[in-house]
A and B are shown apart, each in its own frame.
Chain A
Amino acid sequence: MDAILLQILNGLDKGSAYALIALGLTLIFGTLGVVNFAHGALFMVGAFCAVTFQRILNISFQTIDPTKKDFLGNPLKVDTTYIESWLGPNLGSGILDWAVPISILFAIPVMILIGYVMERGLIKHFYRRPHADQILVTFGLAIVLQEIIKFFYGANPIPTPAPEMFAGSFDFGAAVGLAEDTIIYPYWRLVYFLFSMGIIAAVFSFLQFTTFGMVVRAGMADRETVGLLGINIDRRFTIMFAIAAVVAGLAGLMYTPINAPNYHMGMDFLVLSFVVVVVGGMGSLSGAVLAGFLLGILESFASMKEVIAILPGINQIIIYLVAIIILLTRPRGLMGRKGVMED
């Protein structure tokens, strides 16, 4: 029982990341009909928003502290960050500690801007081109974004710690009434899961309960008719693209404490997210989320020692294997709509 629970929990954080990226991919595909290979790069850019924000906060100046001496007997130079000197040591260091969550405020406008520029500047011209062209040009864009990040931040992973409060682990087993020390779970993974659930809920309720969302859904079903009714559907779809970029960016940003960001993390996630989208069904939002969690959990089950003993190497290929089986047996994926990219 506890072993199963543990694997489900382990699958949740990766599953959340898959689900969030796949959700954004599906939003873009469902609205604009564009296959966006640069979505992984947006995930990565989001992660580097956190890095950038942290670096900005850590800009500091040097003062000489006359009360302390270094080992040679010279007065010690002390680095003080501006934020600490402005807001006082308590609040300042608190903000520094919470840099990753706070950088969400910084990342949202950045991602909206990137998404908007990307859609208006590039994707717009590819609505009518074949899917292969869309894949190729966004693939090229992904390379460019990745290289720009590499130029500024280097090729090595940059550790970005979670706030002190969430740094440790807690005994999940004891919390749900099992024996102590059976399931130890890091706090931040739980935070990540809850955060992604929040984002997913926000996106769904935005589409379901607002007028804007209603129009977008109508546009997804029949773009032309909505356009004929005098609604500027293109503008709304552009906004949806920006929202999808924000979703990907935030997914990457909150993932940084789990996995130190490097410039190719986006590509690593992108390949799997595409598999997730296809398994869930092209154009189905709930399918993407469901498949994301499902594959994340499956992957963690496949990496159990007992499973590997029976089927060696299964943990490496399980996602692809599932994708192949689903694609061949259910042409529409798990929850795909009829008539959307079926052949």
Chain B
Amino acid sequence: MKPPPFHYHDPQDLDGALDLLARLENAKVLAGGQSLMPMLNMRFALPDHVIDINAIESLAFVRESGSRLEIGAMTRQHDLERSAPLRRLCPLMVEALGQVGHRATRNRGTLGGSLCHLDPAAELPVVAAALDATIQVKSKQGGRSIAMADFPAFYMTPAIEPEELVTAIEFEPWPAGHGHAFIEFARRHGDFAIVAAAAMLELSPEGTISRASVTLGGVGTAPLRCHGIEEQLLGQHGSAALFREAAEANRGIDAMDDVHASTLYRQHLAAELTGRALATAFERAQERVPA
């Protein structure tokens, strides 16, 4: 239960980190360490080099640029919880953050670290998918942007090259007054969700649903956007019956079967939590409380 031997590097700026990534074989990037450190301790990860990017202050920020919100990859989860622009513009992420691990892990854990670790049940990748976020990556060769929908390559593996580093995510926040809800079922508060559901709804002046985002976590290897349900809700008047009926579609989704829960149980949770998340998001949209 101790990390295997590795060469430790702590570049002081982004160029230094990208240079190391380009040069070193079998290197792992150490962000907040709340996932990589357990994997090192248990020797699931056996890197020859660990590149600690905690000294790179330019990677920790929350920035409004035009209509977009940009968040640095090394922004700590606890700092995000307290970020005024995030609380105002993206209450969905704030609600999800409250369910990410525990206070002591959020003090170190980062947004970029959670996205790159890409645990199927992690909250922040679900939020990034719900928001149609864009992931910014850099390497010595330059930078590129990856849509969150294309970011997961396969199980716990992002679609980035070994020499690339995730530097930020950005998205266009929904207008003030949209409704949101992030609901998960876990055995203990702070555990990984067995299933999580994120919903956002925007209402037209007539009170019908003009925009919907529904995303599940914990059912497959990557966050699952429920486009069918989203389309079904458009133009409708929200009601408990409508949300329950729409959410029923998730009873038929392809869901994982593992030691924590069976496929059948996950399908049940997916339908139930989707219905609840939609109902809560709708209630908040009606109250226009950007909680």
| A and B together in one complex | no
